[in-house]
Structure 1
């Protein structure tokens, strides 16, 4: 939903393990940088262990911030920006740091250039139609009841599985995120599993920097399925407009190719933060029982839980930009045409922005801006939908249904990724 709505890169869940090579080699949407580092006059971090980064990126982030928050990483063929000030500066200067990354796999994956790979004014033209759909008041009034219905349906399924078998990601977070996306987009005659598959396959193509033909085959098949459906839905909504995102796109005057690209972009990313924020919030509270007790005693704290969890364990860890000209960032000279990795997962742990306890989860932390939803013109348009559907509805409803909800330590949980990071398995109990 966050990426869905505009400018957020994406992550899948447990099936994303198939894309581990992409996770290790960088972003979902890589350009091929032409930067030479034969006689580099900028910091180089050739010590990074890619496997360790994927397993737990935060120690690597801390070292990068301490040694050089803007550094060339040969394994990734790009500069990583890891402190808050640097990431924020990139987001505020789209003329120098373009979202239109060259050599993008994203365009091939979904068949056209979506808004995520456009700078203003083209980006704003593509984004404008859905802004009214995703305004806070409309999300609450028009979509809140839909999100509540979907949460109730899948809480019933969790209850049927019972506290010995249920997995929060598999049985609740993923299907709720998928169904919310289906409804918000206005997809018809599709299943939760079908949309999940499309999302994973599109993400696979976007991250296919190793040019694995099997990934392209899966991506191509899902793209073809989605395009066939959109060939019916776009003209349908032009004749029968409603409150959905596809209807807004279809009646915007945008070319059909733009509409289709942005819908597929939405399918790709619309499960990312909503899905992983369900598991992240429950995991965080389970590991901080004092704060969990405070939240259950004071439901007014749920907004703080969401905001702190999305900062602390950002589902979107890094996304790409490309320099349009030579520039200096944080004292480091970067050539034109360089690939940039904006590591917001690291920026959100920067002690200069969040204090000495930046590495800790604290729902009472003084409010400071974070970058979990991006910033500037590319601030994720769907962040209100994510906050509403998850922070105000899905997770509070889960605790209302199961007051003793917590991680089941008898079974194994699993985390994955750094470009995108989330719990791929989270067994739960409530006995």
Structure 2
């Protein structure tokens, strides 16, 4: 009986050897290609020589539990693969009684099996078995690659990279539109945050202004209140607001609540220095307040008096010209000057009255109010003659005098009415009228 060379090799190799050429129905997930080249020594077992067959089988078993060998179409190895499905074990076929009457054609078999083949082994890698792990792995890989390439800082160092290799449409979509939207968003956020900070600072300044006005003249207490207000604004995030706002709030509070006094003027002088507000800013703000349509004429006069006492730079008073022209439209220039001076005199009168009745020398404060010594002395003597009455006492005294005068007038009117009639009720004719 004669066998073909390829069939004889398949039968003699055994089921374990040709199992390597079986075609798997399930495609494994990971395939790592390697290239094998068969040698003549691997087929020593066909001739019954050596143990190369066993070593080859063990090598294939160690490499993969399910190896797959791909062979070219039309190769004689394909016939071997088909025959392996019914091949018997090699043991029993390698006996001495088997005769070969035909040449096995080992050269042809070597050339057929020795062709380049691709073995794909399967590793148990969970990344390709789980889609979530696969995406996480790809994400981490992209992040690492982006970091190694320089990250965002490469665009900061070289903004040209944002538009490099892009046409106008790509630049519009990837650069211009996002930058515009980001700018609008930042502007909106800035408006909201700025409004909140402005409200916080305004409340803090209003609270500090009322306390400073209450402690007017007490420099140490005012200094402490100023520092507390600035610290409070800083801790609350309103760090962009400065002292001039506090100065303006104090001026508003003085105009609405308190009267002009030496303590008021000295307090504003101190605040102007610590709040770091310039003379130009003071005059501009005074002019803004003084030219308001809903204010009485007393407010511009008071502001002019304060400007004379606080502002040191005469050139800054040019910002007060609109307010001065408004006053001169109502009063003459001389009357305006006299009314401004009277504000200082009245403030000194109030200071004398508040000093009490046990005074033996001139009350301090007339220099702060801008009065000369002659005017201050005259005012002090007048108040001394009136017993150094306080403003409230003086008001009560004036009220008492007014009531007494009204009572005397009523009594005189009643007396005249009684004298118009006699005891019988007849109208008494005036002698002067009879003579006429």
TM bracket, shorter-chain basis: under 0.3
Of Structure 1 and Structure 2, which has the larger fraction of its residues in strand? 1
Highest Rg: 1 or 2? 2
TM-score norm. by structure 1 comes to 0.26
TM-score norm. by structure 2 comes to 0.26
Of Structure 1 and Structure 2, which has the larger fraction of its residues in helix? 2
